[in-house]
Structure 1
Amino acid sequence: MKVRERTEEQEFKILSAYAAKSRDAVRDREEDLCDFRTAFQRDRDRIIHSKSFRRLKHKTQVYIAPGDHYRMRMTHSLEVAQISRTIARGLMLNEDLTEAIAVGHDVGHTPFGHAGEYALRELIGHYNHNEQSLRVVEHLERGGQGLNLTAEVRDGILNHTGDNKPFTLEGNIVRRSDRIAYLCHDYDDGIRAGMIKPSDLPQNVCNVLGTNPSSMITVMVSDIITESEGRNEILMSGRVKAAMDEFREFMFKKIYHSAELEPDRKKSKYVVSKLFEYYMDNPGSLPQEFLEREERWGLQTIVIDYIAGLTDLYAIKQFEKLFIPATWGIPQL
């Protein structure tokens, strides 16, 4: 018996009846099975080894060009994966599936975080990072071939945010874990940046969740496991969910929509907008691999693909190269 087959057999023996089983996973294109890794393990590995995942280490979470200890999109994705695996293990669901969805859920994020996303949305009328994440893994990775991920992982990536929920419990875990992760680590970074203090939190949030990021995560994760045990749904108690919603409202007011960060948000949107305008007018300046896709997808789509894939610093460098005059040396007085 192959290692993969043994693992698949163990899933049916150990995991909950509600868990997604890797033996049942479906891909758009059939391929030979691995002797050692299950389908979901292979999906996780493909995402982690992808260029789009590596670029997340240089993409903004909240703070643009922050110090060493602030979160970026990659560290956010890893924290989502850790929280998701903890919940999945507590509920005897498929940890490998939750991890694969978690590490892939933000690979379509623009430079400068949501500021870049909003800029593209204003420019073309419709742009969502979760849809772009799906596009990245389906069509853009591997030189345009895509990663051929399982339907379960692709569904979880697409529906980690938005109106539609994933069709697996594992995908719904990631959807909850994403919010837990960004609220708690952005709160932690906000304290580090001097924008907020634990004493600023609403009293109900302090009473229910605490004021320490670690204890907050523990309370919410424990609540999800307790409320969802033995059920075909991922739930939170009314008390903890109300506190979490109040915490989220606080974070939007004090951090995400704060006047203090607005100048950088405006500058970021301006950079993205000017790059979009330039490449729409000068498509020949795009890399060849993008130009080769124009006939299939159209100019606007390939320009969006290119800009969405840029890291923060690379986008800034391109902007400087295209719009800032070169300095030829300062004369001695």
Structure 2
Amino acid sequence: MMADFSQERLAPYACNPADTRGRLVAEPESPTRSCFQRDRDRIVHSGGFRKLKYKTQVFVYHEGDYYRTRLTHSLEVAQIARSISRTLGLNEDLAEAVALAHDLGHTPFGHAGEEALNACMEPYGGFSHNDQTLRILTRLERRYAEFDGLNLTWETLEGVVKHNGPLLPMLPGRRLPTTIAGFADEWDLELHTNPGAEAQVAALADDIAYNNHDIDDGLRAGLFTVDEVAELPLVGPVIRQVCDLYPNLERSRLIHETVRRMINAMVGDLTTETRRRLAEHRPGSAAELRAQPLPMVSFSPAMWEAHGPVRVFLRQRMYRHFRVNREMSKCKRVVKALFDLFMAEPNTLPPEWQRDISLHDGDADLAARARCVADYIAGMTDRFALAEYGRLFDMDAKT
């Protein structure tokens, strides 16, 4: 007899584990954990999750141990998502699972690595980290005796794939990513609807986390100053409030106090606006919430307006800072060089990866080879990619 994990405290529009649509490969349920707790645990124990420790958020790992990585970012997103979900009566375990999994598909070197790999893969269907996350969760994690991937529930996979909103209909000239399109033929993830509320929470928890910790990391890296961010809406009022309360506060404490208060302000705004929308539309179930034309989880219009200049500032002063650009330029060249070599000489791939591809030269074989090479490169950490580059291009390096 399966334990009762219905969690009576859940709101009617939450994803209830008792109502799960199940797993693609049927399994006996755990007597001690709900299906969403089990999903979260499988993600935490996956190889892809461990490798996030050495994958770039903004700064390549050798820039310093203090800066965020994809792993610490994912943990911060999960903490924020769990707290918001508890406040709104949503399923905390599902929100945490989506938050922990949402960046599994990122390449080494962050968005620079993704841009380089997407350019290399353009003739073969392209590359996106969201699509790659689904590949990891459904194919590339080969740990279990009875299936590839982690065999997660429908709700977790749907939340990961659609956490930024519906994927259908596509804009003219766009196409569904390769893996998502193929998987949707096998198991309908309802790509035309919004995701469940827990995935909507995870998506905005991502925004809250990276905007605030990028300000933190950018200040500590000296890419901009406290005085400069004090001119921004949202940030400036908080800095002035902290300075009024704590005159002559040392800089490191000022930064931390500002960041934590900004997170609190954004979380508070999100919960207030979300409650307003839920009261207005009154979805009676998770399915009714998905069917709403607009997301139910959202910031207020005022917060979106204040949020915009912060994102513009970070894009101009951090993500496109010349120091960051120089590092990312080198990283893109590493990714392209690795891709070109493995495509031209697939016998230089590790044997376990050679077994997954055909070494013939037909168009179909080349496409399969390219996807395999992309899987190999995308799974690398920053330091492994740099070491592999050295082994392959430095005549003095040990292979």
Q: Deviations over 1:157-215 (max 9, x none)?
A: 22234764752000011111111111111110001101112221234233566571111
TM-score normalised by L of structure 2: 0.77
Q: For the structure 1 residues 162 and 18, does the alpha-carbon distance in structure 2 shift closer, same or farther, using more than 3 Å as the test?
A: closer
Q: For 1:110-259, list aligned pairs within 5 A.
A: 110-125=107-122, 126-143=126-143, 145-161=148-164, 164=167, 166-201=194-229, 202-207=231-236, 210=239, 212-229=258-275, 231=278, 232=289, 233-259=296-322
Counterpart of 1:273, as a letter, is: K
Counterpart of 2:33, as a letter, is: R
Corresponding residue to 1:17 among 12, 19, 27: 12
Distance between the aligned counterparts of 2:70 and 2:198, measured in 1? 21
Q: Do the aligned partners of 1:208 and 1:243 also contact (CA within 8 Å) in 2?
A: no
TM-score normalised by L of structure 1: 0.92
Corresponding residue to 2:36 among 31, 35, 40: 40
Displacement after TM superposition at 1:325 (Å): 2.2
Counterpart of 1:310, as a letter, is: M
Corresponding residue to 2:89 among 73, 88, 92: 92
Q: For the structure 1 residues 166 and 68, does the alpha-carbon distance in structure 2 shift closer, same or farther, using more than 3 Å as the test?
A: farther
Distance between the aligned counterparts of 1:183 and 1:162, measured in 2? 19
Corresponding residue to 1:316 among 379, 386, 397: 386
Corresponding residue to 1:58 among 36, 39, 54: 54
Q: Which segments of 5 or more consecutive residues in structure 2 lack a partner in the other structure?
A: 168-192, 240-254, 279-288, 290-295, 359-364
Q: Deviations over 1:271-303 (max 9, x none)?
A: 000000111112122233323332598111110
Q: Which segments of 5 or more consecutive residues in structure 1 lack a partner in the other structure?
A: 329-333
Distance between the aligned counterparts of 2:72 and 2:66, measured in 1? 10
Q: Do the aligned partners of 1:209 and 1:240 also contact (CA within 8 Å) in 2?
A: no
Q: For the structure 1 residues 209 and 29, does the alpha-carbon distance in structure 2 shift closer, same or farther, using more than 3 Å as the test?
A: farther
Between the aligned residues of both structures, percent identity stands at 40
Q: For 1:298-309, list aligned pairs within 5 A.
A: 298-309=368-379
Q: For the structure 1 residues 215 and 299, does the alpha-carbon distance in structure 2 shift closer, same or farther, using more than 3 Å as the test?
A: same
**Once superposed, what is the RMSD of the aligned Cα atoms?**
2.0
Distance between the aligned counterparts of 1:292 and 1:40, measured in 2? 34
Q: Deviations over 1:252-274 (max 9, x none)?
A: 11111222211111100000000
Corresponding residue to 2:346 among 266, 276, 283: 283
Q: Do the aligned partners of 1:205 and 1:246 also contact (CA within 8 Å) in 2?
A: no
Displacement after TM superposition at 1:122 (Å): 1.2
Would you say 1:74 and 2:120 are equivalent positions? no
Moved more, 43-52 or 227-236: 227-236
Q: For the structure 1 residues 166 and 133, does the alpha-carbon distance in structure 2 shift closer, same or farther, using more than 3 Å as the test?
A: farther
Q: For the structure 1 residues 39 and 208, does the alpha-carbon distance in structure 2 shift closer, same or farther, using more than 3 Å as the test?
A: farther
Distance between the aligned counterparts of 2:347 and 2:328, measured in 1? 29
- In structure 1, the partner of 2:286 is none
Q: Deviations over 1:25-53 (max 9, x none)?
A: 22111101100001100000001000110
- In structure 1, the partner of 2:188 is none
Corresponding residue to 1:272 among 307, 329, 335: 335
Distance between the aligned counterparts of 1:45 and 1:149, measured in 2? 10
Distance between the aligned counterparts of 2:266 and 2:238, measured in 1? 7
Distance between the aligned counterparts of 2:357 and 2:121, measured in 1? 17
- In structure 2, the partner of 1:102 is 99
